[in-house]
Chains A and B, each alone.
Chain A
Amino acid sequence: MKSEIFETVQKIFRTVFEDDNLVLQKNLIADDVEMWDSLTHIDLITSIEEEFSIQIPFEKVILFETAGDLIEYISSVTK
């Protein structure tokens, strides 16, 4: 289940950041991705919400420091 989520999130990352070669890692942060700014961040979150049919509260989003935190959260709410 978690690997499916990982694959789906990686696909979203590649689409949002327009990089087919992007390799998603758990410790990935905004500084690691050239196109990651406030605009693409919003795109990323809304795309994930649409894909997994979830709503991520603001109080949770601001606690995410890495891509791994995001994936953990998605896993916890989509069980």
Chain B
Amino acid sequence: MKLLIITFASLIFIGFYSWFSVVFILISSCINFYFGKYLSLNKKKSVLISTVLTNTFFLFVLKYFNFSQGLNLGAANFQISSIAVALGISYYTLQNIAYLIETYNDRIKPTDNIFQYICFNAFFPKVTCGPIESPKLFLKTLGNLPIASKEDWICGIQRIGIGLFKKMVIADRIAPIVSRTYELDVPSQGFTTWIGICLFTVQLYFDFSGYIDIAMGSARLLGIRLTENFNHPFRATSISDFWRRWHITLFDWIKLYLYFPIVYYFRSYKKWSVIFGLGIVFLLSGLWHGIGLTFLTWACLHILFITYEVLTKQKRKKYAKKISSYIYTPISIFITFNLVCFSELFFRSKSMTNAFALLERTFTFSFFPKNWTIDFWAPLIGGGSQEHLFNIYCTFIIFILFIIFEKTIYQKAISKKINILVWLILFLVFFVFGIFESGEEFIYLQF
């Protein structure tokens, strides 16, 4: 009964976006449910490949083709916006593909409960932006739904609170600064532009992970634990380490269903199979996010970074042993963060022209500002008044402190024993500095 209620509630949630999204997720779920059972009994590779390609085809068509022009089918005219049609498709398509592969390889038994499968895809906390759940674990959870305890309720609400804080106090405060930078509103000055560029990565993290916190918290209210999608990525000491900490469920999926099979198939080529595998993984990851030269450049940069890391790993390990970790670790974190921000520049830019214009502004001879108020703070916030300056100082202080003390904040704020002092501070900061009216849509909703 609980499963039915959650499933119908999820479909109603999706229905608020578009009826077509509901119809499509139902059709997709039913078809994959049926083929999961078929493939567990009939080991026909051709059927597996066809179903995987069909899922991919629909993902590609519905995600990248804009139907907002409308479809004229005789008497009926359809007007479907591409975002509404694509709601959740990037995420549940990957789950469907995982399910088909796992049932084909007998790593899981197909479920007999169609509602369980629909809920696997449509579960409302995670349908819009993930996390991407493993069929083995999540179907098992749905097959034996836990009863939410008092601890689940308390921790769930706390987690939602943290998510809202990250989104409304940090991400939405940084958003206008990032927009101003990328729209080239910030005057030509190296360091200022670079900080504006870096702030997109910060905004993206707090926006996306804030959403995930809300999703995790919402699921926790039902007693359901979703898979963690972030692990303090700004503490990464290498690009490889970064990808073990950022959008973890997407990259776990890619590793299991793309990277390992490719590398293994070409294993006789030794290190070249690893590099080839990495290339395919990041190119497809770029494509998953969007079609365009900017996403391709983003992907190519990460291929370059990780290839370098793979080929020099042992040498770097030996080098690291000779230097104190108090020096090596912060330098590694600093370099990794800047490399990530450099790649995200292309991810965020509207076009390659936009990206190169920003790079031209960044790498100038007068890199550091002569006057910090006039050349740095005021351009970023779009004004030099006391109010503007106070605003941007607070924004920086809040997000820097949050990043530094993130682990501690989570430990203290999300606990069955409510930490009154921590929550008083969070509430105060939330109500004083939160953006309530001009907030931005969640960035990863577009994917």
Contacts and interface: CB of A to CB of B under 8 A. Distances in A.
Interface of A: 34-35, 37-39, 42-43, 45-46, 58-59, 61-62
Nearest to A35: B314
A38 to B, nearest CB: 5
A14 B264 CA distance: 22
B105 A61 contact: no
A52 B83 CA distance: 54
Contacts of B317: 34
B310 A38 contact: yes
B274 A58 contact: no
Given A58-B260, A62-B260, A42 B267 contact: yes
A56 to B, nearest CB: 9
Contacts of B267: 42, 45-46
A59 B107 CA distance: 10
Contacts of B314: 35
Contacts of B268: 46
B271 A39 contact: yes
B261 A58 contact: yes
Nearest to A34: B317
Nearest to B240: A37
B56 interface: no
B208 to A, nearest CB: 26
Contact of B264 (A34, A35, A39, A58): A58
A2 to B, nearest CB: 25
Given A46-B268, A58-B265, A59-B105, A39 B260 contact: no
Interface of B: 105, 256, 260-261, 263-265, 267-268, 270-271, 273-274, 310, 313-314, 317
Among A39, A43, A45, A62, chain B packs the most CB atoms within 10 A around the CB of: A39
Given A42-B264, A58-B261, 16 more contacts: A37-B310, A37-B313, A38-B263, A39-B270, A39-B271, A39-B274, A39-B310, A42-B267, A42-B271, A42-B273, A43-B270, A45-B264, A45-B267, A46-B270, A58-B264, A61-B264
B274 A42 contact: yes
A51 to B, nearest CB: 15
A62 B310 CA distance: 21
Among A42, A43, A59, chain B packs the most CB atoms within 10 A around the CB of: A42
Among A34, A37, A38, A62, chain B packs the most CB atoms within 10 A around the CB of: A38
A2 B137 CA distance: 35
Contacts of B310: 37-39
Nearest to B313: A37
A34 B260 CA distance: 20
Contacts of B261: 58
Nearest to B264: A58
A45 B264 CA distance: 9
A35 B270 CA distance: 15
Contacts of A61: 264
B260 to A, nearest CB: 7
A61 B256 CA distance: 12
13 contacts: A39-B274, A42-B264, A42-B270, A42-B271, A43-B270, A45-B264, A45-B267, A46-B267, A46-B268, A46-B270, A58-B260, A61-B264, A62-B260
